[in-house]
Amino acid sequence: MAKSEMTYADAICRAIEEEMAKDPTIFTYGEDIAQQGGIFGQYKGLLGKYDDRVIDTPISEEVIFGSAVGAALAGTRPIVEFHFADFLFTGMSAITNQIMKIRYMSGGQRDLPIILRGPDGRSNNAAAQHSQSIESIFMHLPGIKVVIPSTPADVYGLYKTALNQPDPVIVFEHKQMYGRKGMVDDEEYRIPFGKADIKRAGTDITVVTTSRMVHESMQAAAELANSGISLEVIDLRTLVPWDRETVINSVKKTGRLLIVHETWKRAGWGAEIASVVQEEAFDYLDDPIYRVGAKNVPNSFSPEQENFIMPDKENVLAEVKKFLL
Amino acid sequence: MAKSEMTYADAICRAIEEEMAKDPTIFTYGEDIAQQGGIFGQYKGLLGKYDDRVIDTPISEEVIFGSAVGAALAGTRPIVEFHFADFLFTGMSAITNQIMKIRYMSGGQRDLPIILRGPDGRSNNAAAQHSQSIESIFMHLPGIKVVIPSTPADVYGLYKTALNQPDPVIVFEHKQMYGRKGMVDDEEYRIPFGKADIKRAGTDITVVTTSRMVHESMQAAAELANSGISLEVIDLRTLVPWDRETVINSVKKTGRLLIVHETWKRAGWGAEIASVVQEEAFDYLDDPIYRVGAKNVPNSFSPEQENFIMPDKENVLAEVKKFLL
Amino acid sequence: MDITKEKLIELYEKMVLIRSFEMKAEEKFYNNEIPGFIHLYIGEEAIATGIIDHLRKDDLITSTHRGHGHMLAKGADPKLMMAELYGKRTGYCKGKGGSMHIMNFDLGVLGANGEVAGGLPIAAGAGMAIKMIKKTDQVVVAFFGDGASNRGAFHEALNWASIYNLPIIFVVEYNQYASTVNSNFATSVDNIADRAKGYDIKGITVDGNDLLEVYETAAEVISAVRNGSGPVLLECKTYRLKGHFVGDPQEYREDAEVEKKWKDEPISKFERYLMEKDYLDDETKNEIWSKYTKVIDEALEYARNDSFPTAKEALTDLFADDTGYDY
Amino acid sequence: MDITKEKLIELYEKMVLIRSFEMKAEEKFYNNEIPGFIHLYIGEEAIATGIIDHLRKDDLITSTHRGHGHMLAKGADPKLMMAELYGKRTGYCKGKGGSMHIMNFDLGVLGANGEVAGGLPIAAGAGMAIKMIKKTDQVVVAFFGDGASNRGAFHEALNWASIYNLPIIFVVEYNQYASTVNSNFATSVDNIADRAKGYDIKGITVDGNDLLEVYETAAEVISAVRNGSGPVLLECKTYRLKGHFVGDPQEYREDAEVEKKWKDEPISKFERYLMEKDYLDDETKNEIWSKYTKVIDEALEYARNDSFPTAKEALTDLFADDTGYDY
Ligand SMILES: Cc1ncc(C[n+]2csc(CCOP(=O)(O)OP(=O)(O)O)c2C)c(N)n1
Ligand SMILES: Cc1ncc(C[n+]2csc(CCOP(=O)(O)OP(=O)(O)O)c2C)c(N)n1
Ligand SMILES: [Mg+2]
Ligand SMILES: [Mg+2]
């Protein structure tokens, strides 16, 4: 199949544009998206094509998020930009108490096709209020599907699914990945939710990860391969639902599990994966399950401190040493 | 030592009143607290004594929470009522981005003695937006100490500590426990944060729990004792910090761990406990760690459905059956 | 404005329906038949009635925790409403919502809402979709309380509606209280409508207990909004005759205050008007009340006889592709 | 109002200090010496200068993401500020905050803030504590942007300050933009001060590029507020001469628009006034600029020579009883 190289940001735009062409009720809005194509340029690819469906808003997060419910129930398919995952908190109730509950509270009367999307995670030296990864919260509270892709090909296929299904979805796009390039099939395709991707097959240790940490883990795996340690790197791609089967089968094979995420280690989503795996594959585990995550403090502005707080390849390598191989 | 019987709500009022007498900068505010003593009557015990320091506010959660930062930095010690844990979300950014970060971002310039307090958890048939337990989120995001007491004696002693320490604290008081009675020492005392209480000693299975589920677990333990199964029930009392030592020592003794909480099972705080324990006591575990929590859906209004979603003693009993005793 | 006798009687009947429903709900709550907590619309019937009568079925409304009146005015079946209050299977929300979350999208009711001001952003989004994407002439009415007008969501929604010139009527039901707190204390302005200036939109205050005034003002406002005038803030002064919720000890107000306010309640006020006009006499009045007593009794019977949803069905309806709690 | 020459020159110098700091910060950002992103106060100096000069050290302010000017006006040491922008150990926040979170509680600066409108609730709480508990005559000034005035927090804070009659001056820096979005589009009123009516407080609009007008108005307002007048909303019209942040491509506006606005910038405007009055000539002017060039060069030297905090120190300062990440 023919493929083209494109950035993560452009892969998203391509998916949205294709679907906008088919479905005139898709529109997108948020802060700073229409004039300059998003604060990370992530909307640039859409500008000029559907300008009446790419809309700037005031700084009013509670309405930005809550409006999605009204828009969906009025018969449209809104894609809402949240600007920074950190500012999901400024309209949090509209998400947790409205978007995530109204279908259930109504007894399932109608579909609620909403996409919340935006940048999650570290952006260098942006300090405590602009570098949080908060996807774990949406795995805990029920009511939204959680997508957290690591490559242009994945983000394209997952958007195509998101834009053709009936439920609220939140897409965490990592700030540092918008410019990352990769090959994407020229033909349209969808990637189902709940299907992990084994980014690298291996035999010694299963690594479960997402987003930017997929790449850090892959680098660690490449290095470890030189010393004869074989990592199987599983990219979950979606956290709600998450692919238990692929993870558990891998752990049954390797006997070892390391979970790697950028968000805080304490009570992060890795804890859920660890809890389920130790329950379902107890007899297969040769070692404890280890987790890599950010240190449990807010992010510091000072560069060295940020590097220390935020996990990367080095932390993966260090943690692997704990396994009794 | 002489003791008196009092309700959970009155034990809180007693602690606050004693401290208000000593410290004229303590004051408390929130919705519906001054006219009728709180929506659950939980402020009644304070009325008439310090009326100028018990203040009703408009329905303005973002300011209710965010104001605590200004009040603390201006040299007072605010106790802020959040009305329903569900509505922490309506002012969430003021908590997560301000209260929980400003000390850190400032480089530790000054103390930030703030108490956020209010009702958490199930209140029968209040449906999806009035029965959430959301303490897990505050264990994940760093920056606040999390207190979640189960008895009048505990809540009294923990408040005494909270009101005499320098950092933000959030106290989750269970809606169904305000009226619960218990004995409290007549003499003043404090209970340190991070010190669990073994509510019942046992040998077969360690149960780690908090709040209302302590009582459900104690009932289960009493019943199981009749069939010769001995549960050790550990009430964590605080989640940040949490008492690893007591839990791990108990698991090393029993070889089995069950975590019981009312909040959603998926990515709830139980997952963190499970992850840490399997890491630290891997070789001591005879069985997988199991967890009891709410089903991963919003709460339903319909009574039978709510009973099905929300965990209770029966779920503890059912889960215990999974252990190979 | 010329209003026919038939229309006036129809409006009267609508208010009687709402009142009858609420009285029965109150009784059955005290009976311990209705679980949870319910907030009654008694004393505020003229607002929902006078406004919603001008709406089409495809017009949309957002409601509040005090939502029974809005639902009934928008055409809800009292049977399915009562069944929902009982948590039963054929209730509007299959028993999952209850009083505080009663809603029906087919009727254009985008939800009663347990979050104060929670409906305002939803209305803003519906208005946006209508105006900018669907380009129909539907309108949206957002009901909310005086207490809600102090939440940030109010401000954001009004600014939003103004800048996009959306077809939204913001209706504040100024019933003097937010739970236990008097709005004279907690709200910085006497008239919420004065806040309209801060959004460069029209603000109007009416006597919300005067059905005719509400009805006539709403007629004008709604038709203007439908024709593209942009949003309007319509304030209806009323009074919450009952406690905040059924069972509220009401220690924050004097009985005398409430008693006095009963003299101004909208149904008898309108009755007096109809009787003066000779559109209503005691006999017809009694007939109407009996008719709705019967309607509500039937609704009650229906709700009681309906079955509860099963426990396991609690795991449906979260997502369209139901995979329940394993999800 | 009678203002001495000395005071006028002092105010001028304060503006020059801020401008010099900002120009150096911009340069060093482009040099890749300053990490993260920074938002410059260039063109808005008259506001912080004209207002904060009336404050005592124990008065409190809340700032924004564009906070350097407020800090400097409140008496911050440029050395410790620059060190913070560099993420160094002796910076005001030990390098943990950076530009967007620069603050010093001893100076009464309760924080620059990365959350738009994040300072408004903080100001409301400070005012509450002062008025109701501490009962001192301190005042609070809350700075925020035109964009911020569309967030719910603005509304809640103003209503709050009004009902408790708090000693707060809300200062909106109307610089025409919220990042890429023009306030003519996103803000429903031309003058944010018009929103004051919605809270029953005084609203005033001044030319924020006219130091004298800001200074004189602030004198009156602050003394009234200190004497118990209750909160005031003071709007200062200005213009953001630089990009939203350093490096902003500014595709959303024409260069010509910006060039035109440079003609109205506050420092040369005030210079013209001082020169007309014969308070300033080219020589003194040059001396003053040289003086602050030196001050800033020294600050830069200081910041460069300062060491970075260690990585491990990232685990301190979250709580007073530091137990770091194990907590
Ligand atoms: C965001 C939020 N805060 C607080 C509450 C608790 N609460 C429920 S109703 C209510 C009062 C609402 O007053 P108002 O808006 O005037 O409506 P009314 O009850 O008078 O109809 C409060 C504080 C809530 N449900 N949601
Ligand atoms: C709650 C929140 N939403 C969005 C942002 C992103 N953001 C940072 S500054 C800004 C524009 C602010 O405009 P304004 O208040 O006018 O201040 P100015 O930058 O013009 O000084 C935006 C949208 C943020 N930091 N916080
Ligand atoms: Mg009210
Ligand atoms: Mg601006």
Task: Give the integer Cα–Cα distance in Å for A72 and B201.
Answer: 53
When the pLDDT of each residue in chain C is averaged and rounded to a whole number, the result is 97
Quick check: CB of A199 below 6 Å from ligand 2?
no
Ligand nearest to the CA of B97: 2
The ligand with the least distance to the CA atom of A62 is: 2
What is the three-class DSSP state of D92?
coil
Q: Does the distance separating the beta carbons of A60 and D180 come in below 8 Å? A: no
CA distance to A271, C117, C176, C230, per residue, from C191 (Å): 51, 18, 11, 21
Q: Is the CB of A87 under 6 A from ligand 2?
A: yes
Is the beta carbon of D179 within 6 A of some atom in ligand 2?
yes
The DSSP 8-state label assigned to residue A121 in this structure reads: S
Which domains does chain D show, CATH number per domain?
5-306 (3.40.50.970)
Measured between CA atoms, how close is C90 to chain A, in angstroms?
Answer: 10
pLDDT in tens, B188-206: 999 999 999 999 999 999 9
Query: Chain A residues contacting D, CB < 8 Å?
Result: 31-32, 35-36, 39, 56-62, 86-87, 90, 124-130, 295-298, 300-309
Q: What is the pLDDT of residue A324?
A: 84
DSSP letter assigned to residue A299: P
pLDDT given at position C323: 60
Name the β-bridge partners of A115: A79, A169
Domain assignments of chain B as residue spans, ordered by start: 3-185, 197-324
State how far the alpha carbon of C122 is from the alpha carbons of A55, C64, C157, in Å: 17, 12, 9
* pLDDT at A1 (0 to 100): 79
Under a CB-based contact definition with an 8 Å cutoff, are residues A243 and A277 in contact? no
Interface of C with D in 140-199 (CB under 8 A): 150-156, 158-159, 162-163, 185-189, 194-195, 197-199
Query: Helix axis angle, D5-30 relative to D78-85, nearest 10°?
Result: 20
Give how far B56 is from chain D: nearest CA, Å: 10
Q: Across all residues in chain A, what is the average pLDDT?
A: 97
pLDDT at D1: 83
Q: How confident is the model at residue D326 (pLDDT cuts 50, 70, 90)?
A: low
Q: Report pLDDT for D171.
A: 99
CB B102 within 8 A of CB D111: yes
pLDDT band, residue B324 (cuts 50/70/90): confident
Q: How far is the C-alpha of D207 from the C-alpha of B264, rounded, in Å?
A: 54
Residue B59 has pLDDT above 50, yes or no: yes
Report the pLDDT averaged over residues A150-177: 97
* Residue bearing the CA closest to ligand 2, atom 8: D116
Mean pLDDT of chain D: 97
The superfamily CATH assigns to domain B3-185 is Thiamin diphosphate (ThDP)-binding fold, Pyr/PP domains (3.40.50.970)
Which atom of ligand 1 is nearest to C116's Cα?
Answer: 26
Task: Find the mean pLDDT for residues B214-239.
Answer: 98
Nearest CA to ligand 2 atom 3: D116
Q: B114: closest CA among B67, B149, B49, B154?
A: B67
Is C324 a residue whose pLDDT tops 50? no
Q: Do the Cβ atoms of B152 and B6 come closer than 8 Å?
A: yes
Find chain C residues with C-beta within 8 A of B122's C-beta.
none
Q: What is the dihedral of CA C284, C285, C291, C295, to 10 degrees?
A: 150
Buried residues in B137-175 as b, exposed as e (16+ CB within 10 A): bbbbbbbbbbbbbbbbbbbbbbbbbbbebebbbbbbbbb
Distance CA A93, CA A97 (A): 5
Q: Which residues contact B24 (CB under 8 A, 6 or more apart)?
A: D133
Question: Ligand 1 centroid vs C64 CA: distance in angstroms?
Answer: 9
Distance A74 CA to ligand 1 centre (A): 26
Inspect the interface and report whether the beta carbons of B297 and C325 lie closer than 8 Å: yes
pLDDT digits (tens, 9 = 90+) for B279-293: 999 999 999 999 999
Is the CB of residue D172 less than 8 Å from the CB of residue D43? no
Structure tokens at C160: 């939003």
Distance from CA of D81 to the nearest CA of A (A): 14
Task: Identify which of A35, A59, A86 to mutate to test ligand 2's pocket (most ligand atoms within 8 A of the CB).
Answer: A59
Cα separation, B280 vs D208, whole angstroms: 61
What's the whole-number mean pLDDT along residues A230-249? 97
Can you read off the two tokens belonging to residue C73? Answer: 């005015």
Assess whether B130 carries a catalytic annotation.
Answer: yes
Do A197-324 and A3-185 have the same topology in CATH? yes
Q: What is the pLDDT of residues C171-209, one digit of tens each?
A: 999 999 999 999 999 999 999 999 999 999 999 999 999
> What pLDDT, on a 0 to 100 scale, did the predictor assign at position C1?
83
Q: How many residues does chain B have?
A: 325
CA angle B147, B149, B153 (to 5 degrees): 125
Nearest by CB to residue A291, choosing from B86, B275, B289, is: B275
CATH of B197-324, one of 3.20.20.120, 3.40.50.920, 3.90.1300.10, 3.30.1360.80: 3.40.50.920
Mapped onto helix, strand or coil, the DSSP state of residue D277 is: coil
D101, D125, D138 ranked by CB distance to B68: nearest: D125
Across the interface, do D96 and A300 touch by the CB < 8 Å criterion?
Answer: yes
Choose, out of A236, A266, A305, A322, the residue to mutate when testing the contact with B (most B CBs < 10 Å): A266
What is the structure's pLDDT at D324? 46
